[in-house]
Amino acid sequence: MNFYDSQKITTILESKGYQLQDSPDKADLVVFNTCNIRDKAAHKVYSDIGRVNKFDNKKTIAVVGCVAQAENSEMFKKNHAIDIVLGPQSYHLLPQMIKDLEKKSKLINTEFIVNEKFDYLSEQHRPQGISSFITIQEGCDKFCSFCVVPYTRGPEYSRSIEAISKEADLLTSKGAREIVLLGQNVNAYQDLSLNKVKRLNHLIENLSKNENIKRIRYTTSHPINMNKELIDCHADSSKLMPFLHLPVQSGSSTILRKMNRKYDSNFYKEIIYKLKKAKPSIQISSDFIVGYPGETDKDFQDTLDLVDEMKFTQSYSFIYSSRPGTKAASESDVTPLHIKKERLKILQEKLRNIQLKFNKGFCNKNIEVLIENKSASNPEYFFGRTPYMQSVYIKSSNLKDGDIKNVSISTCNHKSLYGSC
Ligand code: SF4
């Protein structure tokens, strides 16, 4: 979502005459779009500001996004070089704030004014490429005990199907063939603008009518919002890809309860089995937090057992990172860091082996790949993705971006497939 937001910010500024520079050294204005999900990411902004300001203290520095929202005016105290602090729901105000710096030296806006932002941003477009993002939902009402998102992005808010369809039309007119629907709780999507509530399955059905859209994905989902209609949509929609990122966070029901995830391990497994029944080819990826306060060896073993049973084909896993202001931050955390690191290593090795085995199953077979672009690292190759989100590098001289091709896979590693056509 931050990648998408950064593109929107660039478009807004370009429409006001700013020019994007390829290095911060050449820029008069540097905008940091920040993530507050983990401690390390939140700290990074301060060291990055120091780096861009090393040779020239005259740059205008704007910090936008979730760290700005969470740390608010404290940011000015922590780093005097910062001129603007702007929360993620107000970055359409950035050009005016830059202007206002002529009258005032420090400016801040961390209000939640989502619909105004979306009204403004629906006019702002920068071609994103063959696979393009559309934010359809923002915010979160779930309040997982470890997470800052409900505090930084505000309550759940969905855009109308009409506004999203218009944005999809614009993106496809600029070449997009795959639309990735984004939201912090994307499957909590609900369009309330009509007499009858329309949910994510309705939106997918609607977008599927656009002939230029060949593939649809959505991310990130919460297990409790995987309703029957959405599961059925995986069976019914040929454009909805058979791949779903459905974060579980832990395989232990005890830890899930402490995390306030609102489901237990059995509920999660049932959702996956229902999805697999509706769409047998579907593959699932997940997120894991290792070493949540109070996680025992038994809890960690439950996570390993869940991975063995579910066979996630891609995943993100991290050691728990305490975030100020969350409920989990006040919980006693006695597990030593070296044990958490050891658990993470064991989990990641298991996940990597499953992913490698899954990828190996495609060797000496053909798979449909949506060609996205020429590989940046090797011009002899094109880059594309399978329906299951695997990266594919294809040796060929005559492919076109946006083509869907049957690619013969010759080799792979756990991250990527390699082939020709
Ligand atoms: S559902 Fe996701 S975004 Fe919301 S609080 Fe939980 S982890 Fe954070």
DSSP code for 240: B
Burial of 196 (0-12, 13-18, 19+ CB in 10 A): exposed
**Closest residue (by CA) to atom 6 of ligand 1?**
144
Cis peptide before 220 (omega within 30 of 0): yes
Does 356 lie in the same domain as 235? Answer: yes
Q: Identity (one letter) of the amino acid at 382?
A: F
Q: Which CATH number goes with the domain that contains 271? A: 3.80.30.20
The predicted structure's pLDDT at residue 125: 62
Q: Which CATH number goes with the domain that contains 99? A: 3.40.50
Residue 184 alpha carbon to ligand 1 centre in Å: 7
Rg (CA), the chain: 22
Burial of 345 (0-12, 13-18, 19+ CB in 10 A): exposed
What is the atom index within ligand 1 of the atom nearest the CA of 153?
3
State the pTM of this model.
0.90
137 and 185 Cβ atoms separated by less than 8 Å: yes
What is the atom index within ligand 1 of the atom nearest the CA of 249?
7
CA–CA gap between residue 242 and residue 30 (Å, rounded) = 39
Does 127 lie in the same domain as 43? Answer: no
Which one, of 243, 188, 255, lies nearest residue 217 by Cα?
243
Q: Which CATH number goes with the domain that contains 377? A: 2.40.50.140
Both tokens assigned to 399: 């492919």
Q: Which of 326, 360, 394 is the last residue of a domain?
A: 360
Which one, of 401, 417, 397, lies nearest residue 409 by Cα?
417
Return the number of other C-beta atoms located less than 10 Å from residue 275's C-beta. Answer: 21
Does 174 lie in the same domain as 271? Answer: yes
CA–CA gap between residue 278 and residue 234 (Å, rounded) = 7
Does 337 lie in the same domain as 215? Answer: yes
What is the atom index within ligand 1 of the atom nearest the CA of 141?
4
Does 126 lie in the same domain as 98? Answer: no
Return the number of other C-beta atoms located less than 10 Å from residue 73's C-beta. Answer: 10
Structural domain span for residue 370? 366-420
Residue 403 alpha carbon to ligand 1 centre in Å: 36
Which one, of 351, 277, 281, 347, lies nearest residue 314 by Cα?
351
CA–CA gap between residue 217 and residue 403 (Å, rounded) = 18
52 and 30 Cβ atoms separated by less than 8 Å: yes
310 and 273 Cβ atoms separated by less than 8 Å: no
Residue 416 alpha carbon to ligand 1 centre in Å: 29
What is the atom index within ligand 1 of the atom nearest the CA of 148?
8
Does 205 lie in the same domain as 266? Answer: yes
Residue 260 alpha carbon to ligand 1 centre in Å: 10
Q: Which of 343, 360, 377 is the last residue of a domain?
A: 360
The predicted structure's pLDDT at residue 182: 96
CA–CA gap between residue 393 and residue 383 (Å, rounded) = 5
Does 228 lie in the same domain as 332? Answer: yes
DSSP code for 76: H
Q: How are the residues of the chain apportioned to helix, strand and coil, as percentages rounded to the nearest 5?
A: 40, 25, 40
What is the atom index within ligand 1 of the atom nearest the CA of 222?
1
Does 352 lie in the same domain as 203? Answer: yes
Residue 222 alpha carbon to ligand 1 centre in Å: 8
**Closest residue (by CA) to atom 8 of ligand 1?**
147
Residue 407 alpha carbon to ligand 1 centre in Å: 37
**Which residue among 2, 35, 135, 140 has the greatest number of ligand 1 atoms within 8 angstroms of its CB, and so is best to mutate?**
140
The predicted structure's pLDDT at residue 283: 98
Ligand 1 surroundings by CB, under 6 angstroms: 140, 142-144, 147, 149-150, 184-185, 222
Burial of 372 (0-12, 13-18, 19+ CB in 10 A): buried
Return the number of other C-beta atoms located less than 10 Å from residue 116's C-beta. Answer: 14
CA–CA gap between residue 233 and residue 239 (Å, rounded) = 10
The predicted structure's pLDDT at residue 127: 66
Report CA-CA distances (Å) from 105 to 59, 62, 257, 331: 13, 12, 46, 40
Residue 163 alpha carbon to ligand 1 centre in Å: 25
**Which residue among 144, 225, 246 has the greatest number of ligand 1 atoms within 8 angstroms of its CB, and so is best to mutate?**
144
- 228-236 and 265-278 helices, crossing angle to 10°: 30
CA–CA gap between residue 229 and residue 202 (Å, rounded) = 9
Both tokens assigned to 374: 């020429």
- 200-208 and 228-236 helices, crossing angle to 10°: 20
**Which residue among 36, 185, 186 has the greatest number of ligand 1 atoms within 8 angstroms of its CB, and so is best to mutate?**
185
Q: Which of 66, 95, 113 is the last residue of a domain?
A: 113
Beta pairing partners, 219: 182
Does 278 lie in the same domain as 170? Answer: yes
The predicted structure's pLDDT at residue 58: 82
Does 306 lie in the same domain as 207? Answer: yes
Does 404 lie in the same domain as 304? Answer: no
What is the atom index within ligand 1 of the atom nearest the CA of 147?
8
DSSP code for 328: G
Please list, in sequence order, all residues whose beta carbon lies within 8 angstroms of the beta carbon of residue 123, skipping any fewer than 6 positions away.
Answer: none
Residue 352 alpha carbon to ligand 1 centre in Å: 25
- pLDDT in 10s for each residue of the chain, 421 residues: 888 889 889 989 999 999 999 988 899 999 999 988 888 888 889 999 988 887 677 889 999 999 999 999 999 999 999 999 999 888 889 999 999 999 998 999 888 766 666 666 655 566 679 999 999 999 999 999 999 999 988 899 999 999 999 999 999 999 999 999 999 999 999 999 888 999 999 999 999 999 999 999 999 999 999 999 999 999 999 999 999 999 999 999 999 999 999 999 999 999 999 999 999 999 999 999 999 999 999 999 999 999 999 999 999 999 999 998 899 999 999 999 999 999 999 999 999 999 999 999 999 999 999 999 998 878 889 999 999 999 999 999 889 999 999 999 999 999 999 999 9
**Closest residue (by CA) to atom 1 of ligand 1?**
142
Per the structure, the count of domains in the chain is 3
Does 109 lie in the same domain as 119? Answer: no
Q: Identity (one letter) of the amino acid at 88?
A: P
Report CA-CA distances (Å) from 269 to 234, 272, 312: 17, 5, 12
Residue 315 alpha carbon to ligand 1 centre in Å: 17
Residue 149 alpha carbon to ligand 1 centre in Å: 6
CA–CA gap between residue 51 and residue 360 (Å, rounded) = 42
Residue 150 alpha carbon to ligand 1 centre in Å: 7
